[in-house]
């Protein structure tokens, strides 16, 4: 059986490669465990070398966690956090590695974002697709998103997490989520040169010009400053708010409206709470919120509808965020 993670020293660097290309390098329990072991071995023996994190295959760096396996594990009687504890520990450990460079391409979603954002230097190609789309499966933007999204303005932070809106590499770069834009086919050449610590010279050579940012930067200024989730939810009934919006905005808000009300509630609470919180606080809070959505929310149903039965017709427990607030108020009070 082919290894799900590869670790190898080459050209003066140590490379860790997610190696499930047919599955878009999604993270399961075995892969996360193997990756943690390889990184621990790197720290013990080759920590002086630059560490490069990449994904195999042409389609993407990592499409997230293998939530189907998680749901099956919970159904078999395993604790709700059996995977998340392991995943979050790995994500958090990446922040401790000073010379860690993430070189991502293609699809970078959910758990893939958690890995890339933990890298000291974050690189992706311009046409990459980045998102935290958990609202559509009844979960929430975890893997430290409440930490790495702190760099964004509150309106951006809430919009991207509540809607699961998709960004390309250029847009992520302009928002400050990505450090450098470099075509993935230049990875080997870039890595070889950087072993001599010529980063500044090499970045000038390899960087792709971002050219003009999309209209997203302009339309965000004019979006209403919503005061509560209740008001935001009412967007579905306010046709006057829709007609002049950029199509990307309408699609993104459509993701929100289709999503789990419980997910919207906990996401709203988490990403208002997170301001100036430390890394460890954010990962601890992720585990607490994961308990709410796993035990009181729509996580199982969302995964069933989107990824198991694929009928794309989830039956959420609540008809609105107002109902969700009322039903899980006690659990929310203990967490926030």
Q: Is the pLDDT of residue 134 over 70?
A: yes
- Give backbone dihedrals phi and psi of 107, rounded to 5 degrees, phi first: -75, 125
User: What is residue 236's predicted lDDT score, i.e. its pLDDT?
Assistant: 64
Res 194: pLDDT: 55
Residues whose CB is less than 8 angstroms from the CB of residue 271 and which lie 6 or more positions away in sequence, other chains included: 141, 146, 149, 157, 158, 161, 162
Is 0.75 topped by the overall pTM?
yes
Has residue 297 got a pLDDT over 90? yes
Model pLDDT, residue 239: 57
Q: pLDDT at residue 243 above 80?
A: no
* Higher pLDDT, residue 193 or 69: 69
pLDDT for position 75? 95
State mean pLDDT over 50-54.
93
Per-residue model confidence (pLDDT) at position 76: 96
Over residues 183-227, the pLDDT tens digits come to 888 777 766 555 555 444 455 555 555 554 454 555 555 555 555
Most confident region among 66-70, 149-153, 246-250 by mean pLDDT: 66-70
Per-residue model confidence (pLDDT) at position 199:
47
Indicate the pairing of strand 100-104 with strand 51-55.
Answer: parallel
Mean pLDDT in the chain? Answer: 87
pLDDT of 264 > 50? The answer is: yes
Question: Is residue 240 over pLDDT 90?
Answer: no
For 99, other C-beta atoms within 10 Å of its C-beta total 17
pLDDT at residue 249 in the model: 79
Q: What pLDDT shows up at residue 77?
A: 96
| Predicted local distance difference test score (pLDDT) of residue 174 | 85
CATH homologous superfamily of 1-336 equals 2-enoyl-CoA Hydratase; Chain A, domain 1 (3.90.226.10)
Contact indicator for 98, 120 with CB cutoff of 8 Å: yes
* Confidence band, pLDDT 50/70/90 cuts, at residue 9: confident
Residue 230 pLDDT: 64
307-318 pLDDT, tens digit each: 999 999 999 999
The reported pLDDT for the residue numbered 213 is 45
**What proportion of the chain, given as a percentage, has pLDDT over 90?**
67
Q: How confident is the model at residue 251 (pLDDT cuts 50, 70, 90)?
A: confident
């Amino acid at each position: 059986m082919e290894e799900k993670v590869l670790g190898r020293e080459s050209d003066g660097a140590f490379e860790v490669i997610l190696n499930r290309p047919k599955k878009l390098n999604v993270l399961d329990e075995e892969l996360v465990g193997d990756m943690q072991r390889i990184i621990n071995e790197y720290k013990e023996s080759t920590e002086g070398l630059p560490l490069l994190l990449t994904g195999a295959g042409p389609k993407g760096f990592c499409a997230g966690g293998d939530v189907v396996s998680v749901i099956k594990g919970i159904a078999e009687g395993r604790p709700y956090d059996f995977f998340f504890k392991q995943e979050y520990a790995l994500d958090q450990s990446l922040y401790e590695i000073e010379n860690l460079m993430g070189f991502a391409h293609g699809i970078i979603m959910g758990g893939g974002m958690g890995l890339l954002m933990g890298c000291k230097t974050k690189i992706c190609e311009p046409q990459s697709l980045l998102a935290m789309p958990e609202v559509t499966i009844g979960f929430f933007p975890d893997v430290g998103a409440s930490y790495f999204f702190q760099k964004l303005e509150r309106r951006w932070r809430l919009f991207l997490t509540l809607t699961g809106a998709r960004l390309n590499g250029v847009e992520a770069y302009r928002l400050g989520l990505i450090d450098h834009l470099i075509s993935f086919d230049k990875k080997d050449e870039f890595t070889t040169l950087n072993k001599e610590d010529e980063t500044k010279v090499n970045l000038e050579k390899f960087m792709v010009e971002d050219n003009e940012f999309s209209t997203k930067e302009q339309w965000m200024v004019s979006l209403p400053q919503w005061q509560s989730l209740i008001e935001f939810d009412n967007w579905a009934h306010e046709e006057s708010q829709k007609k002049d919006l950029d199509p990307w905005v309408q699609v993104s808000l459509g993701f929100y409206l289709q999503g789990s009300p419980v997910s919207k509630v906990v996401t709203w609470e988490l990403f208002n709470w997170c301001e100036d919180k430390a890394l460890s606080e954010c990962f601890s809070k992720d585990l607490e919120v994961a308990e709410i959505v796993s035990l009181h929310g729509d996580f199982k149903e969302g995964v069933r509808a989107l990824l198991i039965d694929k009928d794309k017709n989830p039956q959420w427990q609540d008809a609105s965020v107002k109902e969700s607030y009322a039903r899980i108020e006690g659990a929310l009070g203990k967490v926030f």
